[in-house]
Amino acid sequence: MRAAMRAMAAGCVAVFLGACAALPARLPDQVPAFELSGRVAVRYGDEAASGRAEWRHAPETDDMVISTPLGQGLAELTRRGDVFTLVTSDGKRHTASDPESLTESVLGWRLPLAGLPEWVRAQPLPGVPADVKRAEGRVSRIAQSGWTIDYLEYGENGLPRRLRLQRDTLDI
């Protein structure tokens, strides 16, 4: 079960796969609020899992829920200001001031939460070196902070609809 929970918690990165909510335009110096929901497929080393993820993001809060394809909750990650809490399916609560160290200590690897609000919008994280590739007038790949994000499909609204994130042995 721990392996499935690890893989599915990783899926919170990819909550935007098959996203069904539109993202608002970004205001200068402000990360926009949005809600995304989608299917998630995760491969972590020799393990693989799939399910659903829901993500509500706002400037001061984040709420992510990862569940099985049948809707059973596996993990919940929340942010309130600078405090991150990860609740596993067995009800254990883990808290930290940095999401990457929290996910590393609980799951065994670092989850790239700092870049996600930008990456789901096909934008690199500001102030961090990035290699951005474009094709047909759109971002096709961002390589940043050790992650490679491929933009596989765009929706009619011009925003990414399907993404693939890769780092080391993690493929989402």
Report pLDDT for 153.
95
Give the pLDDT band of residue 31 (cuts 50, 70, 90).
low
pTM to 2 decimal places: 0.78
The residue-averaged pLDDT of 118-123 equals 92
Give residue-wise pLDDT tens across range 78-114.
Answer: 999 889 999 988 899 999 998 878 877 887 667 777 7
Rounded distance between C-alpha atoms, residue 7 and residue 66, angstroms? 10
Give the pLDDT band of residue 30 (cuts 50, 70, 90).
low
Q: Do the beta carbons of residue 8 and residue 14 sit within 8 Å?
A: no
DSSP string for residues in 6-73: HHHHHGGGGTTTT--SPPPPPPTT-PPPEEEEEEEEEEETTEEEEEEEEEEEETTEEEEEEE-TT--E
* Residue 41 reports pLDDT greater than 60: yes
